[in-house]
């Protein structure tokens, strides 16, 4: 086929232009696709960074005065929880005398009833905070705590049944406040020395709160009227609630997923919560009621067996049936289980120590509540030193080593008071044990909290905090039940030193 020069020129002129034009258009479309892809990746990366670094941004955006106010309000959860425990430890016999209580087993319920609900209802409180907001739940917990503290004081016009009932309901307040306060700290501070120090300060509030509660209760109980100890606590909690509303920063928008109320309720895993709480309450009730009525009562055995039977059912529901388990699977590891078991043993030991050192000082040695509070006050100074030391240690050595050291202090402090003779000088063993025991408290609590906080995802911080607080407070109450059974069988209602030992 023949082509003239014109056609050949047109062909040679058009072909390159068409090819070049098509290449440019294709390149432009490719560039658009690449930009879109990069934009999506950039957007996803930014969203991921906003989720993972929001804790850093929250902590860094707070001014120093605002951060001090924020940490103070958060730490009040632990401080007030132990203050409510310490105030009854100091004036248990004064309260008992006003109600005509003579049975030591009934007296122990004044403490155990409070720790029972603190330890059991924490199990669901963290999940409630994850669903509805940790700040909101923390303020609700403070308000509830304040109201039932007021009722405890008003029970003086009724009888000890109302007082114990109010104490049980009072414990729900700190059960709500504790895990949500820790969850707020967990999402506000990024892992590191600063977070470790804040958690250590939070842990230091336990001994300081206990002593503050016992001192003020001793003053009111010995020099004025014991109900004012609870009314003063109610006023302080009401003020803390108001301050918390302004001091605690609002969570990031992405922290709370926009879900329907019905969906949030489904995700609460209420079935598991009901079974778990029921099992814990039944076991605890059996152990704390048995020293009063005896283990030969049928309902004690039935209650204990039912409680024990419900716990395997709880874990079966969690592992096989629950769509949103109350305890995340990443928490069900050997390491976490070992840490929680160590925490349980240590704090059960502390619960026994806390109750019986007051019995030893006030009943055996005949010391009044105010002087007894002064005798136990070294735990404040020792606790502050322990908190600072723990904050530095957690940034340098493994939390597991810190936990092991804490258990050594728990054991040493208990042995010291257990072997103290009746007329021995205060400075020999009693003083030493009050200086030693806070190291167990202030090392075990932040270590366990940090281990679980770093083991779970950011959205499960409330649940991790709930587990630690459940173990801590439930162990205190259960330990009193164990000790009560031993005392009844050894002391047999007498006032000797052998029962407390």
For residue range 59-91, list pLDDT tens digits in order.
Answer: 677 778 888 899 999 999 999 998 998 899 889
409 with 309, same domain: the answer is: no
**Mean pLDDT estimate for the chain:** 80
Going by pLDDT thresholds of 50, 70 and 90, the confidence category of residue 431 is: very high
344 with 376, same domain: the answer is: yes
Going by pLDDT thresholds of 50, 70 and 90, the confidence category of residue 49 is: very low
The CATH number linked to 159 is 1.20.1250.20
* Contact criterion met (CB below 8 Å) for 272 and 180: no
pLDDT at 216: 92
pLDDT at 177: 92
| Residue 498 belongs to a domain | no
Q: Which domain holds residue 302?
A: 270-322
For residue range 91-121, list pLDDT tens digits in order.
Answer: 988 999 999 887 777 887 888 889 889 888 8
Top-confidence residue, 222 or 127? 222
110 with 204, same domain: the answer is: yes
pLDDT at 112: 81
* Contact criterion met (CB below 8 Å) for 109 and 288: yes
171 with 221, same domain: the answer is: yes
pLDDT at 31: 53
Q: What is the pTM of this model?
A: 0.76
347 with 396, same domain: the answer is: yes
Q: Quick check: 39 pLDDT over 60?
A: no
Q: Quick check: 15 pLDDT over 70?
A: no
Q: What CA–CA distance (Å, rounded) separates 215 from 88?
A: 11
**Could you tell me the two tokens for 225?**
């009227």
Lowest mean pLDDT among 73-82, 180-189, 253-262, 418-427: 253-262
Q: Give the number of other CB atoms < 10 A from CB of residue 9.
A: 11
For residue range 225-269, list pLDDT tens digits in order.
Answer: 999 999 999 999 999 999 999 988 877 655 555 666 666 777 777
* Contact criterion met (CB below 8 Å) for 420 and 430: yes
Domain termination residue (choose one: 278, 299, 322): 322
280 with 221, same domain: the answer is: no
265 with 288, same domain: the answer is: no
| Residue 296 belongs to a domain | yes
Q: Measuring CA to CA, how many Å separate 31 from each of 19, 44, 258?
A: 18, 20, 36
291 with 421, same domain: the answer is: no
162 with 292, same domain: the answer is: no
Q: Quick check: 457 pLDDT over 50?
A: yes
Average pLDDT (281-290) is: 90
pLDDT at 362: 87
Percent of the chain with pLDDT over 90: 27
pLDDT at 115: 82
Domains contained in the chain, number: 2
Q: Measuring CA to CA, how many Å separate 207 from each of 80, 82, 354?
A: 11, 7, 10
pLDDT at 305: 95
Q: Measuring CA to CA, how many Å separate 370 from each of 90, 219, 376, 384, 495?
A: 8, 6, 10, 22, 22
Q: What CA–CA distance (Å, rounded) separates 95 from 336?
A: 40
């Amino acid at each position: 086929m023949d082509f003239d020069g014109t056609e050949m020129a047109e062909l040679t002129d058009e072909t390159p232009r068409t090819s070049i034009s098509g290449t440019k258009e294709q390149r432009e479309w490719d560039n658009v696709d690449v930009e879109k892809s990069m934009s999506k990746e950039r957007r996803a990366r930014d969203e991921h960074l906003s989720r993972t670094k929001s804790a850093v941004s929250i902590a860094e955006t707070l001014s120093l005065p605002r951060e001090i106010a924020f940490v103070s309000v958060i730490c009040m959860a632990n401080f007030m929880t132990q203050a409510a425990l310490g105030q009854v430890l100091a004036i248990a016999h004064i309260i008992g005398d006003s109600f005509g209580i003579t049975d030591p087993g009934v007296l122990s319920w004044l403490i155990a009833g409070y720790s029972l609900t603190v330890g059991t209802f924490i199990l669901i409180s963290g999940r409630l905070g994850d669903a509805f907001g940790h700040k909101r739940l923390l303020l609700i917990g403070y308000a509830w705590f304040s109201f039932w503290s007021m009722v405890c004081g008003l029970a003086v016009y009724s009888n000890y049944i109302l007082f114990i009932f109010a104490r049980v309901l009072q414990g729900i307040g700190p059960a709500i406040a504790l895990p949500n306060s820790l969850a707020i700290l967990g999402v506000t501070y990024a892992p590191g020395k600063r977070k470790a120090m804040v958690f250590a300060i939070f842990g230091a509030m336990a001994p300081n709160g206990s002593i503050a509660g016992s001192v003020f209760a001793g003053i009111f109980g010995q020099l004025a009227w014991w109900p004012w100890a609870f009314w003063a606590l109610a006023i302080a909690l009401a003020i803390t609630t108001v301050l918390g509303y302004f001091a605690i920063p609002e969570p990031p928008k992405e922290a709370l997923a926009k879900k329907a109320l019905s969906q949030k309720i489904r995700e609460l895993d209420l079935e598991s919560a009901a079974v778990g709480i029921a099992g814990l309450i039944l076991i605890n009730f059996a152990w704390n009621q048995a020293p009063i009525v005896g283990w030969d009562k049928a309902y004690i055995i039935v209650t204990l067996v039912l409680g024990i039977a419900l716990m395997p059912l709880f874990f079966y529901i969690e592992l096989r049936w629950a769509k949103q388990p109350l305890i995340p699977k990443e928490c069900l590891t050997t390491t976490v289980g070992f840490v929680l078991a160590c925490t349980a043993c240590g704090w059960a030991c502390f619960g026994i120590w806390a109750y019986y050192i007051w019995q030893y000082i006030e009943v055996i040695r005949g010391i009044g509540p105010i002087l007894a509070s002064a005798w136990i006050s070294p735990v404040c100074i020792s606790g502050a030193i322990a908190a600072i030391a723990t904050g530095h240690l957690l940034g340098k050595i493994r939390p597991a080593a810190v936990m092991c050291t804490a258990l050594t202090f728990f054991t040493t402090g208990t042995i010291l008071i257990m072997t103290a003779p009746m007329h021995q000088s205060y400075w020999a063993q009693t003083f030493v044990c009050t200086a030693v025991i806070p190291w167990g408290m202030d090392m075990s609590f932040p270590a366990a909290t940090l281990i679980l906080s770093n083991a779970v995802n950011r959205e499960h911080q409330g649940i991790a905090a709930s587990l630690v607080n459940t173990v801590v407070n439930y162990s205190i109450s259960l330990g009193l039940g164990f000790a009560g059974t031993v005392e009844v069988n050894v002391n047999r209602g007498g006032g000797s030193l052998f029962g407390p030992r």
